[in-house]
Amino acid sequence: MSFLSVAYVVLFYFAAAVFIFGLTYRITKYARTPAPLKIPTMPAPTTRTGVAMRLGREVVFFESLFKSTKWTWLFGWIFHFSLLLAFFRHLRYALTPDSFLWPLISLEVVQTFGKYAGYGMLIGLTGLLARRIFVDRVRYISSPSDYLHLILLLAIAGSGLLMTFVSHTDIVQLKAFVLGLFYFDPQPVPNSWFLLTHLTLVALLLIIFPISKLLHAPGLFFSPTRNQVDNSRDKRHVVPWAARLDSTHSD
Ligand code: HEM
């Protein structure tokens, strides 16, 4: 195998390790962080089913963002929905025809929507970037990292679109490379500039994920303002560490 292929194999194992261990560490930390007060954003559901439904609407429709700013909601939703479509199209690089998901991802409609989803990502990300640049109060609170995240995602979508519509890469060899990573049987990476750029940026995305604002994805589920039941008038709210204190200092 060429030096280039070895370098990309090592890069992807490194990026995957940082992503998996970093994310596990973060999620464990979120799950263990005490939530001493009842602080659901009102009006809030009074049952656990209600909370699950509210979280579901938040994940699928970005409900609270919709209530606060319509433009940010529109561009944010377009970007995330397009990302989901592109994800389904990408599954063909990592799955084989014997997978139970194959009938779904090989559907013409999934591949076609996934193909044009790249443009959706560009539209959504450009809108979000314009908001940071042109809306005074948003520009004031934006740090370089806020811009860099958007630029990184724009570059990933851009390099992907260049492969899809301008200069194709060897998809068969790429699939062998990806499956080789999964089966610990390294295979050569196709030598195409757009693909190598795409892959380098994706590896960078995986590496920064556990130390960046991209953590909002898992973080949403641990937010006390969203995941708490509004039952403070019916039930005493005691966090485990306070309950322990209670029993040791009962006098
Ligand atoms: C290791 C992971 C990845 C691999 C191997 C990969 C590979 C590819 C390839 C080969 C294409 C060209 C598709 C074609 O011509 O049919 C493509 C397109 C694209 N990629 Fe990726 N990609 C990866 C991760 C990502 C990620 C994480 C994103 C988004 C954050 C992304 C966004 C896109 C977009 C928007 C397109 C253009 C639309 C399309 O054809 O799907 N890719 N990718």
With a 6 Å cutoff on the Cβ, whether 114 touches ligand 1 is yes
Instruction: Determine the structural domain holding residue 173 and report its residue range.
Output: 3-248
Query: What's 232's DSSP letter?
Result: T
Cβ within 8 Å of residue 54, ≥6 positions away: 44, 45, 63, 226
pLDDT at residue 28, rounded to an integer = 97
For residue 213, the CA-to-ligand 1 centroid distance in Å is 22
Which of 14, 3, 25 is closest to 181 using CA atoms?
14
For residue 13, the CA-to-ligand 1 centroid distance in Å is 18
For residue 194, the CA-to-ligand 1 centroid distance in Å is 10
The span from the CA of 220 to the CA of 224, in Å, is 9
For residue 189, the CA-to-ligand 1 centroid distance in Å is 15
Mean pLDDT of all residues in 101-113: 91
Cα distances (angstroms) measured from residue 150 to each of 16, 19, 162, 214: 21, 19, 18, 11
Number of domains in the chain: 1
| CATH number of the structural domain spanning residue 81 | 1.20.950.20
Q: What is the mean pLDDT of the chain?
A: 94
Helices 144-165, 193-208: crossing angle, 10 deg rounding: 150
pLDDT of 64 > 90? The answer is: yes
- What is the identity of the amino acid at 167? S
Q: With 0.95 as the threshold, say if the pTM is over it.
A: no
Tokens of 147: 């811009």
With a 6 Å cutoff on the Cβ, whether 118 touches ligand 1 is yes
30-60 tens-digit pLDDT: 999 988 899 999 899 999 999 999 999 999 9
pLDDT at residue 123, rounded to an integer = 98
Closest ligand 1 atom to the C-alpha of 114? Answer: 41
Is the preceding omega at residue 218 within 30 degrees of 0, hence cis?
no
- What is the identity of the amino acid at 38? K
